[in-house]
Amino acid sequence: MITFDEIKKAFLVSIWFMFLTFPIMVIRVNPVEHIVEWRWKNMLVVGIGSFLLSFVWNYLMKRKELGFKKAESGEETGTIPLVQRILGEKKIYIPALVVAGIFTIAFPFIFSLYQTNIMVSALIYVMLGLGLNIVVGLAGLLDLGYVAFYAVGAYAYALLNYHFGISFWIALPIGGLLGATFGILLGFPVLRLRGDYLAIVTLGFGEIIRIILENWNEFSFGPSGIANIPRPSLFGINLSVHESTIYIYYIMIALCLFTVFVVNRLQDSRIGRAWIALREDEVACQAMGIDKTKTKLTAFSLGATWASMAGVMFAAKTTFVNPASFTIWESIIILCIVVLGGMGSIIGVIAGALVLILMPEYLRAFSEYRMLAFGVLLVVMMIFRPGGIIPNVRRVYTFQGVKNTDKS
């Protein structure tokens, strides 16, 4: 039922929005003819639109509260999201995996080169997201300069190739190692910091790397970057652009699978458990004999390793690197992937990367509103799904435990 109160509230909301959007939606100054246009029709549209939307909003909020109440009273609420229910059931899970597998393998042959290219960049972000997930999602260290390691990898390949002609397959592990080294280098000074302070310092580190690359002309060729980086080679066979894109796509798929495998194993290992424990309580960790320094450094350096390898991939894919690709904005996108997808959840991060990278590509028509849509998406997500698109399974698993013991 819609009560009078709700109508009043919606009315106030619409007035507020009309007021708020008045300067941009209604007034238009035409500087050539020196007239001011008053577009009252726009105001009407905004008013009616926000009036209706406020009802939708109210309805969603109510549903959310209802969910909380049900959860409190211990009723079955279906808190387990669809995806996890699918993952739980072997009958659905295995065929789904097979279908997904066939789709991924056939992707470059079904779709155009353009689509494959977009997919490759999405996969690079999957890798970056999974790497950052180790640092942010598991170890709980808010790293805003993650892109620095990405840059390290990309420049490692570009420079090694430029100076020594080192090929992609050798540069990949070298890039990874370099990333790990830089991870430790950054890790040491920031070990004592937590939360906001850590975020600020890592942010600074990210900018430092970018500014160095931009200004140290003798080393990195400055803003003009390095061009003509070779694509990955396949046993010395010369591949056309089309073929090598497909080849890169498969390398990326393999690398992503490898990443998923390693991160998954890490999560269940002792060191993974130590990361989660460190995120939850540092003093308790120390009392348990966990080496705080070592644990944080491994998180940093492992996260950096993946970023660097993704960087090598990026350099090989675009065949050109310059500092403009490694701005703070990239770090924030990667962080958004992790937060939006679900911190600590592998499948969530993959979903987050695909959504955040593919959406803007396919919605190019609305590219002017990209930032707006992005902001709205984040706000709505944090209100209705604070755990991310696909939250970490661990939490769901524990809720089930609560139910079982309550019944027994």
Type of residue found at 308: S
Residue 2 interacts with other proteins (CB under 8 A): yes or no = no
Q: Which is nearer to other proteins, 39 or 394 (CB)?
A: 394
Residue 395 interacts with other proteins (CB under 8 A): yes or no = yes
Residue 73 interacts with other proteins (CB under 8 A): yes or no = no
- Alpha helices (runs of H) in 89-167, residue ranges in sequence order: 90-110, 113-132, 147-164
Residue 52 interacts with other proteins (CB under 8 A): yes or no = no
Instruction: Please give the DSSP secondary-structure letter assigned to residue 111.
Output: S
Q: How far is the CB of 400 from other proteins (least distance, A)?
A: 8
The correct pick among 30, 228, 240, 405 for binding other proteins (CB under 8 A) is: 405
Q: Which is nearer to other proteins, 191 or 328 (CB)?
A: 191
The correct pick among 218, 289, 364, 368 for binding other proteins (CB under 8 A) is: 289
Residue 281 interacts with other proteins (CB under 8 A): yes or no = yes
Residue 394 interacts with other proteins (CB under 8 A): yes or no = yes
The correct pick among 113, 208, 257, 288 for binding other proteins (CB under 8 A) is: 288
Residue 74 interacts with other proteins (CB under 8 A): yes or no = no
Q: How far is the CB of 73 from other proteins (least distance, A)?
A: 16
Residue 273 interacts with other proteins (CB under 8 A): yes or no = yes
Residue 191 interacts with other proteins (CB under 8 A): yes or no = no
Tell me the angle at which helices 241-268 and 113-132 cross, rounded to the nearest 10 degrees. 20
Q: How far is the CB of 300 from other proteins (least distance, A)?
A: 18
**Under 8 Å CB-to-CB from 405, ≥6 apart: which residues?**
none
Residue 270 interacts with other proteins (CB under 8 A): yes or no = yes
For 229, the 3-state DSSP assignment is coil
From the number of C-beta atoms within 10 Å of its C-beta (0-12, 13-18, 19+), residue 150 rates as buried
The stretch among 85-93, 247-255, 257-265, 289-297 that binds other proteins (CB under 8 A) is 289-297
Residue 280 interacts with other proteins (CB under 8 A): yes or no = yes
Number of residues lying near other proteins (CB under 8 A) = 27
The stretch among 111-119, 155-163, 309-317, 393-401 that binds other proteins (CB under 8 A) is 393-401
- Alpha helices (runs of H) in 191-291, residue ranges in sequence order: 195-215, 217-220, 241-268, 270-280, 282-287
State how far the Cα of 350 lies from the Cα of 260, in Å rounded to an integer: 9
**Contact criterion met (CB below 8 Å) for 147 and 334:** yes
Question: How is the chain split among helix, strand and coil, in percent rounded to 5?
Answer: 80, 5, 20
Type of residue found at 138: L
Backbone phi, psi, residue 211, to 5°: -70, -35
State how far the Cα of 283 lies from the Cα of 285, in Å rounded to an integer: 5
Angle at 310 between CA 308 and CA 236, to 5 degrees: 105
What's the gap between Cα 233 and its chain centre?
29
For 83, other C-beta atoms within 10 Å of its C-beta total: 17
The stretch among 174-182, 222-230, 308-316, 396-404 that binds other proteins (CB under 8 A) is 396-404
Q: How far is the CB of 386 from other proteins (least distance, A)?
A: 14
Residue 257 interacts with other proteins (CB under 8 A): yes or no = no
The correct pick among 9, 70, 292, 385 for binding other proteins (CB under 8 A) is: 292
Place of tokens 């990367």: 353
- Whether the CA torsion 239, 242, 248, 250 is positive or negative: it is negative
Q: Which is nearer to other proteins, 139 or 252 (CB)?
A: 139
**Token pair recorded at residue 159:** 């420079």
Residue 192 interacts with other proteins (CB under 8 A): yes or no = no
Q: Which is nearer to other proteins, 295 or 322 (CB)?
A: 295
The correct pick among 56, 241, 287, 365 for binding other proteins (CB under 8 A) is: 287
Instruction: Please give the DSSP secondary-structure letter assigned to residue 232.
Output: P
Type of residue found at 187: G
- The site for other proteins (CB under 8 A) is made up of 270, 273-274, 276-277, 280-281, 283-293, 394-395, 397-398, 401-402, 404-405, 408
